[in-house]
Amino acid sequence: MRAIVTGALIVALAGCGFGPGGATTGGGRGLPEVRAMATDVKWLPPGREPTGFAVRSFAPGPDGDLVEVAGANCVVTADVYRAEIVTPTRVILPDLGADAPAVRTDCRLGDGLAGAVVGEPQFRWDRTGGNPAERLVWRGGQWWGGPQSGPMRYPDMIVPLRPFAGAARPSG
């Protein structure tokens, strides 16, 4: 009987919108989306939904303040994941929980501006943690000796572009 109840619970939770095709959390909604692709085999724990974040580029304006510029070519890397994008874009990554790596974004605009930022993953829940189904799926690993964790998110990436050494300087 216990096996039947356990099996029914697993099947019920399988339809909760987790995994591919489920809800995507995080920032950057409304921007064009690019999914980061794995460059190597990566085992994903079950029940993890994708998370997204915005990548935007800023360059010095006429008064020296940074203003948003579109069209910077960027490479986003996180462990074995990689995406090549043009700003502004929303990057989608799998949520790896406690194993989530830092994300590095390197951007270039034209022949003279470049910049890079690193974003550390952050826990998405407050101390009370998610709805009951999420808590059961995420914290179930603790019962079997897994690490205490929860869903992660990344901050939106704001990439300041500056002139870099070796860039062609206007003559005159």
Whether the model clears a pTM of 0.85, i.e. scores above it, the answer is no
Provide the pairing of β-strand 33-35 with 157-160: unpaired
Q: Which domain holds residue 79?
A: 2-163
Could you tell me if residue 142 is inside a domain?
Answer: yes
Cα–Cα distance measured from residue 88 to residue 4, given in angstroms and rounded to the nearest whole number: 49
pLDDT digits over 66-120, tens only?
999 999 999 999 988 899 999 999 999 888 877 788 999 999 998 899 999 999 9
pLDDT digits over 2-49, tens only?
555 444 444 444 444 333 344 566 778 889 999 998 887 766 655 467
Could you tell me if residue 169 is inside a domain?
Answer: no
Of 116, 120, 92, 100, which Cα lies nearest the Cα of 26?
92
Q: In whole angstroms, what separates CA 56 from the centre of its chain?
A: 14
Residues in the chain, total: 172
Could you tell me if residue 90 is inside a domain?
Answer: yes
Could you tell me if residue 24 is inside a domain?
Answer: yes
Number of domains the chain contains? 1
In the predicted model, what is the mean pLDDT of the chain? 75
Higher pLDDT, 64 or 8: 64
pLDDT digits over 122-140, tens only?
876 655 555 666 556 655 5
Could you tell me if residue 172 is inside a domain?
Answer: no
Residue 59: half-sphere exposure toward Cβ, Cα within 13 Å: 15
Could you tell me if residue 69 is inside a domain?
Answer: yes
Could you tell me if residue 168 is inside a domain?
Answer: no
Could you tell me if residue 18 is inside a domain?
Answer: yes
Provide the pairing of β-strand 50-60 with 157-160: parallel
